[in-house]
């Protein structure tokens, strides 16, 4: 089926109709306000001149001019958006041309033709793991034809096949292949207009301030204009909320439609496999960037972050036992959702994209057979892939200010370091992930009620691990349902396990699920007892019961300590939230004074952590210097009505390091317990 013949879905038509109605409502409301503003301007000018002509003198002239400016300032406020435009920042982009990359442009031209849309005006490459079509927008772009530009992220091209890239490009071009898509463009520009009136008022406020500074009479009328504008803003805020919600709803339908257009070009499989791999590709790229961020002080950087990304992608595939095909990890929905067992679905009215599950389901139902089977790496479409990767890598590192001689790190060394970091931050694979989000539990000595001792495979089987993730997800669902029942989450309906519920039914469902959670926790507890008994028996047989008991007591003691430490952390974080808002001076000073006692407690805790033998190998020079500076000084955060940014930053960094150290210590103690148990079996 040609993409041009794809029918718009009923839901798309419905959302487009709502969007058109919203568009009409906005236009009518705006023109009514504009007509009133014009009338106000006419009357204020007539009134101003009448006052001046009635009795010409300095006083009446100032009053008359001020009155004239009243309507003009309201009118300027309503029309200033016409003279603004939104330009995309292109400083991180590199433009490429057909003579440089003929194969890539052949693909672009082929996709544009199949989708029945125009070619992009310009094509850029970026560092990112995405692709997009963009254009500079202003008021007149709603009425004049605008040529779009194509941005292709090398982080994306580096991790997909040619067929997958073609599907991604077809999706992007698909947004502009139907005339109905123009509705989305109108809604987008209306949002920009309303946003401009609400939030982009710096130049307007400067003009009003300058005019008001000329005379107190002028300031009087400026203030009246501002009050009128605030009334207009109140009306527009209501429209803005409604417009955005409607735009997001239409945007989700546009995504579904663009997916179908892509499937009509390549078949559904290419887009599905690329969509499911995208989060892992992004994770690999972020891991590389974060690694080099953490090594800025070591003057280490990459010559080619995309070779690094590829190595990390293989590392992630190995760690997570992902199968490889065509040189790339193959991801399934089961893998994507392996930790999320939630059955609660609340439609997010503010989401601009459907969920991955919704998109895959939509593609599965499309019925398009695969007609693209080019599994060669998409990066090979570039004439000299290595050269352009290194060029974009230079852009990535250009903003970084190194203080010494830069050392280029080989991808192999990066992979080795990350592998080592992974092992340091992971529990033994012996447990099959059972303890990744679950603590080991100590049980008082009792007679074993189970006549048959289970095997290790049974204790840490996949279904036992699923119980833990199901229980964790159910905890989250229960919390959400409590908020729905209490009215804290404003929804009329929600879905649970495929069944639609109304808000008034949330309380009953909550009670039912609490009973289910109790049963789940009993099953987990039974398995935990079996595990504890299994390892305790091994400890007895190895004459290591005293050591075994010691490991458990140490873990439980630290677990209690961690809870109190994080409580202190949360209280301080809550105590400094006021700094994010405009706060009266007296209140600021009182809040910082109230915080002092908690800070003293924090400093005592930090000193203990800095001397903890468990943590000594984990404390970097940066962490040590920051925390020592913090605990050894009495910091003032607000002096002479001004926040002391340097001291505030030191407090925030110290809190971050404190949270890291208490989490790290707990992890290390837990890991040492698990390693000891493992040694009881393997020795």
DSSP bridge partners of 639: 642
Evaluated on CA atoms 255, 256, 261, 264, the torsion sign reads: positive
Render pLDDT for 655-675 as a digit per residue (tens, 0 to 9). 999 999 999 999 999 999 999
DSSP state of 175: T
Strands (E), 398-479: 407-409
What gap in Å lies between CA 523 and CA 442, rounded to an integer? Answer: 16
Instruction: Specify the DSSP element, H or E, that contains 94.
Output: strand 94-96
Q: Residue length, the chain?
A: 683
Residues 6 or more apart in contact with residue 266 via CB below 8 angstroms: 163, 166, 167, 170, 370, 371, 372
What gap in Å lies between CA 487 and CA 227, rounded to an integer? Answer: 34
Q: Is 463 exposed, middle or buried (0-12, 13-18, 19+ CB in 10 A)?
A: exposed
The answer to whether 247 and 191 have CB atoms below 8 angstroms apart is yes
The answer to whether 258 and 172 have CB atoms below 8 angstroms apart is yes
For 253-296, give the DSSP string.
Answer: HHHHHHHHHHHHHH-HHHHHHHHHHHHHHHHHHHHHHHHHHHTG
Query: Strands 407-409, 300-302: parallel, antiparallel or unpaired by DSSP?
Result: parallel
What's residue 237's pLDDT? Answer: 77
576 three-class SS: coil
What's residue 138's pLDDT? Answer: 58
Strands (E), 421-568: 493-496, 499-502
What's residue 58's pLDDT? Answer: 87
Which long-range contacts link 95-102 to residues 24+ away (Cβ below 8 Å)? 95/122, 95/123, 95/124, 96/123, 96/124, 96/125, 96/388, 97/123, 100/383, 101/381, 101/382, 101/383, 102/383
Apex CA 503: angle with CA 502 and CA 504, to 5°?
90
What's residue 599's pLDDT? Answer: 96
For 331-384, give the DSSP string.
Answer: --HHHHTSS----EE---TT-SS--HHHHHHHHHTT-PPP-----SBGGGGSTT
What's residue 157's pLDDT? Answer: 97
What's residue 436's pLDDT? Answer: 95
Number of helices followed by number of strands (H, E) in the chain: 21, 15
What gap in Å lies between CA 427 and CA 671, rounded to an integer? Answer: 6
Query: 612-641 as b/e, with b when 16 or more CB fall inside 10 Å?
Result: eebbeebbeeebeebbeebbeeeeebbeee
Apex CA 660: angle with CA 655 and CA 661, to 5°?
100
Within the chain, what is the greatest distance between any pair of CA atoms? 111
The answer to whether 341 and 445 have CB atoms below 8 angstroms apart is no
Q: Which of 317, 237, 327, 333 lies closest to 284, judged by CA?
A: 317
The domain limits of the chain are 337-349+426-541, 542-683
Query: Strands 94-96, 137-138: parallel, antiparallel or unpaired by DSSP?
Result: unpaired
What's residue 183's pLDDT? Answer: 64
Q: Which of 594, 622, 619 lies closest to 608, judged by CA?
A: 619
What gap in Å lies between CA 514 and CA 389, rounded to an integer? Answer: 53
DSSP bridge partners of 496: 344, 499
The answer to whether 222 and 210 have CB atoms below 8 angstroms apart is no
The answer to whether 16 and 278 have CB atoms below 8 angstroms apart is no
The answer to whether 177 and 226 have CB atoms below 8 angstroms apart is no
The list of the chain residues with pLDDT below 50 reads: 4
What gap in Å lies between CA 494 and CA 552, rounded to an integer? Answer: 43
What gap in Å lies between CA 256 and CA 259, rounded to an integer? Answer: 5
Q: Rounded to 5 degrees, what are φ and ψ at 98?
A: -55, -40
Query: 33-46 as b/e, with b when 16 or more CB fall inside 10 Å?
Result: beeebeebbeebbe
State the CB neighbour count (10 A cutoff) for residue 608.
12
Quote the radius of gyration of the chain (alpha carbons, Å).
31
What gap in Å lies between CA 311 and CA 284, rounded to an integer? Answer: 9
Query: 530-563 as b/e, with b when 16 or more CB fall inside 10 Å?
Result: bbbbbbbebbeeeebeeebeebbeebbebeeeee
């Amino acid at each position: 089926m040609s993409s041009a013949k794809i029918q718009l879905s009923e839901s798309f038509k419905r959302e487009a109709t709502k969007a058109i109605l919203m568009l009409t409502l906005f236009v009518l409301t705006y023109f009514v306000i504009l007509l009133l503003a014009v009338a106000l301007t006419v009357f204020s000018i007539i009134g101003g001149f009448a006052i001046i002509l009635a009795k010409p003198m300095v006083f009446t002239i100032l009053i008359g001019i001020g009155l004239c400016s009243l309507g003009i300032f309201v009118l300027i406020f309503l029309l200033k958006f016409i003279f603004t435009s939104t330009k995309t920042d292109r400083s991180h982009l590199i433009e490429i041309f057909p003579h440089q990359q003929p194969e890539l442009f052949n693909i672009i031209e082929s996709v544009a033709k199949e989708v029945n849309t125009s070619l992009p005006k310009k094509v850029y490459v970026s560092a990112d793991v995405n692709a997009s079509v963009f254009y500079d927008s202003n008021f007149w772009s709603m009425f004049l034809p605008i040529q779009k530009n194509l941005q292709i992220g090398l982080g994306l091209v580096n991790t997909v096949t040619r067929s997958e890239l073609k599907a991604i490009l077809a999706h992007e071009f698909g947004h502009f292949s139907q005339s109905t898509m123009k509705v989305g463009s109108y809604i987008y520009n209306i949002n920009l207009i309303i946003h401009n009136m609400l939030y982009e008022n710096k130049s307007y406020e400067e003009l009003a301030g300058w005019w008001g500074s000329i005379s107190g009479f002028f300031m009087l009328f400026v203030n009246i204009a501002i009050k009128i504008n605030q009334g207009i803003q109140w009306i527009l805020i209501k429209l803005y909320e409604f417009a955005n919600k409607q735009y997001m709803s239409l945007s989700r339908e546009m995504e579904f439609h663009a997916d179908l257009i892509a499937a009509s070009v390549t078949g559904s499989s290419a887009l599905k496999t690329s969509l499911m791999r995208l989060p892992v590709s992004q994770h690999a790229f972020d891991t590389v960037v974060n690694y080099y961020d953490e090594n800025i002080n070591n003057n280490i950087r990459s010559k080619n972050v995309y070779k690094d990304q590829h190595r990390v992608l293989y590392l992630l595939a190995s760690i997570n036992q992902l199968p490889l095909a065509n040189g790339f990890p193959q991801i399934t929905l089961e893998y994507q959702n392996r930790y999320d067992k939630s059955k609660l679905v609340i439609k997010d009215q503010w989401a601009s994209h459907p969920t991955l599950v919704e998109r895959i389901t939509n593609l599965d139902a499309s019925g398009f057979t695969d007609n693209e089977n080019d599994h060669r790496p998409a990066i090979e479409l570039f004439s000299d892939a290595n050269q352009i990767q290194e060029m974009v890598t230079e852009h990535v590192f250009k903003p970084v200010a190194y203080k010494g001689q830069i050392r280029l790190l080989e991808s192999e060394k990066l992979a080795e370091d990350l592998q080592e970091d992974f092992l340091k931050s992971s529990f033994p694979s012996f447990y099959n992930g059972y303890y990744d989000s679950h603590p080991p539990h100590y049980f008082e000595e009792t007679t074993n009620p189970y006549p048959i001792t289970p095997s290790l495979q049974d204790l840490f089987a996949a279904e036992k691990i699923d119980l833990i993730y199901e229980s964790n997800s159910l905890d989250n669902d229960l919390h959400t349902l409590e908020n729905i029942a209490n009215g804290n989450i404003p929804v009329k309906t929600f879905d649970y396990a495929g069944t639609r519920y109304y808000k008034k039914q949330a309380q009953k469902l909550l009670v039912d699920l609490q009973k289910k959670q109790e049963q789940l926790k009993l099953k987990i507890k039974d398995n935990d007892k079996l595990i504890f008994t299994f390892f305790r028996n091994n400890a007895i047989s190895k004459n290591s019961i005293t050591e075994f008991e010691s490991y458990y007591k140490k873990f439980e003691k630290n677990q209690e300590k961690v809870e109190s430490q994080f409580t202190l952390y949360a209280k301080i974080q809550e105590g400094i939230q006021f700094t994010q808002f405009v706060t009266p001076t007296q209140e600021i000073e009182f809040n910082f004074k109230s915080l002092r006692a908690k800070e003293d407690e924090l400093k005592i805790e930090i000193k203990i952590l800095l001397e903890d033998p468990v943590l000594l190998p984990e404390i970097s020079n940066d962490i040590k210097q920051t925390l020592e500076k913090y605990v050894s000084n009495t910091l003032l955060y607000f002096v002479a009505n001004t926040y002391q940014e340097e001291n505030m930053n030191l407090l925030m960094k110290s809190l971050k390091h404190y949270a890291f150290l208490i989490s790290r210590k707990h992890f290390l103690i837990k890991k040492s317990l698990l390693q000891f148990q493992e040694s009881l079996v393997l020795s």
